[in-house]
Chains A and B, each alone.
Chain A
């Protein structure tokens, strides 16, 4: 039953998606972040990004890694994680080297800053923006405008409890 619903959802999304394959980097159009919807299937991702360099199973996820030429060879330029159980795209991580200015993606009114372990003595900070469709956009190491990020993550909000359990996202 669930699979049928999922297939239906993907088929419904397909015409819209085919008109706008996700780019390697997000962009802003009319205030909206244009990137992955996180409803894309593996086939749609492969069509847009080509075959991944590395595919590996990590826990309940399958990761697809892409090695773009603009990132040090130790790190993938993109990591996409799909849930093993239902194939849903759970998140996309984009690594930048050197760090990238992403201020345009994080308008102040829609953005919150978070610090680990606390704001007084942070070991790491990030900016977070909630996007339509239950998605969140995170800029690691970039708590405020003017601080470029080495890593941008787009993730289903429901997955935060797994990958960022310390984050308390404001409603």
Chain B
């Protein structure tokens, strides 16, 4: 039952609103926030860091209700502080509260970022959203099993040519746990690689604090937005490098550019859906004294940048243009950007009538770009929703966006050649996995790999090997490779052939529809684990059947076309687009299943190439990626780089297709 914690409610206390294992780079900004609970009066505050007195940096105590209770609480802030000395630094605070001495401490690990050995290198971080190992495998098994002139490029278990990301020499695994759950989301996983620290679900580069209970219980809205935005912030690598070393910065995504994964490179918020605030911070970033966060922004989601989409009616697109950004909205315009243009805002999809949403903190629609499968004009399988490009028929593919971002960032600016840091995200690997849409998911992963190829090619042509490329995922999703399917096109695309399956167990009822293209998913998809109210899945966890009776009927689509242990996939390549097609004679499709429609807590692969790549080997925590990227930029890595080069020596075993 609920514990009555009377003493906890009345005992004065003081605490840093910081995690136990706060990790920072030298000079990385962080808000130091002290919370004082159950106190009428506060005197004698003293805050030190490694013995240095920081007390005067703190604001006067502000009375703030914490924990949604009725006690008297206070908050003191020292915003945007940093530690210039590397090492373990003990942060201590003490005070007298209502006559009682209270104190708290944290040991902060400050890692060296040595500007004297700064390498002026570029970093390109590729994030396949939800791209666990099965997603990489699926992209390979579809795009590298191509039949041409009667010969499959995937034969006897070997590929003639592996994925671009497979060819990168260094691999590791990243553990993606959040500070409050083993299954994370894109916001707190992004916070880990962008800022080096773990946080809670939905958090964008901030730590939890005592006012979160208000909006986490009642929902974020305009009336409690200040409490969503008051969490202690920790600076991300994009702002850190721009602020301290004049790096140029960019984000490229197929999502709305204010979605969580791009947001962690340029914003700070307790709640990832504060889209209006996130867009504002791109324009006037709090770590950069109000300067824009990025030189290049390419993706979807124009609404929160338009005056009509915002409660404050600011025209952020106009403001960016006034600052010298070229604004483009189509692939044609993106291609036509003239050489020498150093700042670009490209928003390739939005609403016809943008408007704020009714909570006042977001927009009515978060318009992501269409996925690769639909941009290519391929026909959707029967179980997947047919998509429309709407009026946005000239959206760029991710590889074009990547190519142009590199061209713009790599050219430097009017101030000369400057290094850059760029994040490229394939967002809909995840977004298509949520509704279990396999084709949409797999083709997006292929598009992602092509954009990695663009970057690898760009980096390899540079006279100095000065670009580190890292490919990873924020978290995994529940797709599995389960075999191959001989389902003929007439079954695969038929929206008239389906079977409705309903059965009742002692623990509940299961209802779902089986389509010709996803017969195998009936078993792979059972049981879903959620408490959905939708008719297709209203049993919830307690309704899991122990066994599933296989039934056949005259309406049972494609009943014998799926095989686990027999056969190889075989696809045809569309020479015009360079992508595999999903229909035609002789086709044998990959069969996949989704265990749920949601994220999982599995570790995800990390792959790296370029100077400092060797740092990304082995199992690592997701936050380590931040420190490894920083280490590669601020250290001579030549010894390790030579070791990696040795791997290409023919005296060592070579993977077929690499």
CB-based contact A124/B358 at 8 Å: yes
Report whether A70 and B359 are in contact in the complex, using a CB–CB cutoff of 8 Å. Answer: no
Is the pair B5, A140 in contact by a Cβ cutoff of 8 Å?
A: no
- A82 interfacial contact with B, CB 8 Å: yes
**Measured between alpha carbons, how far is A163 from B597 in the docked complex, in Å?**
32
Is there a chain A Cβ closer than 8 Å to B40's Cβ? Answer: no
Answer whether A124 and B542 are a contact pair too, CB < 8 Å, given A60-B69, A81-B217, A95-B219: no
- Closest chain B residue to A3, Cβ basis: B4
Expressed in whole angstroms, the minimum distance between the Cβ of A128 and any Cβ of chain B is 13
Q: Does B311 contact A (CB under 8 A)?
A: yes
Binds A, one of B344-352, B517-525, B530-538: B530-538
Asked if B219 contacts A140 (CB within 8 A), the reply is: yes
B180 CB contacts on chain A under 8 angstroms? 56
Q: Say whether A66 faces chain B, with CB atoms less than 8 Å apart.
A: yes
B537 and A69 form a contact (CB under 8 A) = yes
Complex Cα–Cα for A150 and B355 (A) = 14
Main secondary structure of the interface of B (DSSP, over half): loop
Interchain CA distance A59-B215 in the complex, whole Å: 11
Chain A 141-152 interface 0/1 with B at a Cβ cutoff of 8 Å (1 = within): 110000101110
Let me know if B202 is at the binding interface, CB within 8 A.
yes
The tally of residues in B whose CB lies under 8 Å from a CB in A reads: 51
Report the minimal beta-carbon distance from B280 to chain A, rounded to whole angstroms: 14
Enumerate chain B residues within 8 angstroms of A164, measured Cβ to Cβ: 218, 223
**Minimum CB distance partner of A147 in chain B:** B358
A83 to B219, CA, bound (A): 17
Which chain A residues lie closer than 8 Å to B221 at the CB level? 116, 124, 140-141
* Cβ contact within 8 Å between B66 and A59: yes
Q: Mark B64-80, 1 if CB is under 8 A from A, else 0.
A: 01111100000000000
Closest B residue to A84 by CB, please name it.
Answer: B2
Q: Is the CB of B210 within 8 A of A84?
A: no
Residue of B nearest to A85 (CB): B4
* Contact of B533 with A73 in the complex, beta carbons under 8 Å: no
Task: Check B171 for interface membership: any CB of A closer than 8 A.
Answer: no
Interface positions of B from 567 to 615, Cβ below 8 Å from A: 597-599
Contact yes or no, B359 A124, CB < 8 A: yes
- B181 in the interface (beta carbon within 8 A): yes
Given contacts A50-B542, A83-B2, A84-B5, whether A70 and B534 have CB atoms under 8 Å apart is yes
The interface size of chain A toward B, counting residues with CB under 8 Å, comes to 54
| Chain B residues, CB < 8 A from A86 | 2, 4
Chain A residues within 8 Å of B598, by CB: 67, 73
Interface members, chain B 1-52 (any A CB < 8 Å): 1-6, 9
Interface string of A118-139 (1 = CB under 8 A from B): 0000111100000000000000
Are the C-beta atoms of A85 and B5 separated by less than 8 Å? Answer: yes
A93/B360 contact (C-beta < 8 A), A51-B541, A69-B532, A74-B272 known: no
**A87 interface residue (CB < 8 Å to B):** yes
Check if B68 sits within 8 Å of A59, measured CB to CB. yes
In the complex, the answer to whether A93 meets B217 with C-beta atoms within 8 Å is: yes
What separation, in Å, do the CA atoms of A77 and B533 have in the docked complex? Answer: 9
Interface centre among A77, A95, A141 (most CB of B within 10 A): A141
Residues of A within 8 A of B273 (CB): 74-75
12 contacts between A and B (CB under 8 A): A53-B531, A54-B181, A58-B213, A59-B66, A59-B213, A60-B67, A66-B531, A116-B221, A117-B223, A140-B359, A141-B357, A150-B357
Interfacial residues, chain B to chain A (CB-CB below 8 A): 1-6, 9, 65-69, 180-181, 185, 201-202, 210, 212-214, 216-219, 221-224, 260, 272-273, 311, 357-360, 434, 530-534, 536-537, 540-542, 597-599
The 6 closest A-B pairs by CB, nearest first: A141-B358, A69-B532, A59-B213, A59-B67, A123-B222, A124-B360
